[in-house]
Amino acid sequence: MPETDRVRSLRQLLHLRSRLTTTDGRVFVGQLVCIDKGLNLILNSAEEYKNGTRSNLVRVRGSCSWAHRTYESRFVGLVMIPGVHLVKAEVEDDDDMFA
């Protein structure tokens, strides 16, 4: 069975450091090692990031806006993210948004 362009594109993402966002707002960062037809993804050496309990709220000209988010993290190792809970999948670049 010949490989389609879509399969070839997905295969190129394997073993890259990826950032996955879930429906409950958590973010998982790790090495993408598996993806199936249901868009279930497996990350190796993954860390979980979730919104922290502290954040800075800034008042500017009568309106409120978030200055930045704080994140709590923990190492989770090998993790499977079900496709139904996946909001966004990204290949992580050199800039670390959680630094």
pLDDT higher than 90, residue 92: no
pLDDT band, residue 1 (cuts 50/70/90): low
- Residue spans per domain, the chain: 5-91
Round to whole Å and give the CA distance between 28 and 63.
32
Contact 22, 79 (CB under 8 A): no
User: Would you tell me which CATH number, out of the four given (2.30.30.100, 1.10.10.60, 3.40.50.720, 3.30.300.100), belongs to the domain 5-91?
Assistant: 2.30.30.100
H or E stretch at 8: helix 5-13
Question: pLDDT at position 47, please?
Answer: 96
pLDDT digits (tens, 9 = 90+) for 20-76: 999 999 999 999 999 998 989 999 999 999 875 444 444 445 554 445 566 788 999
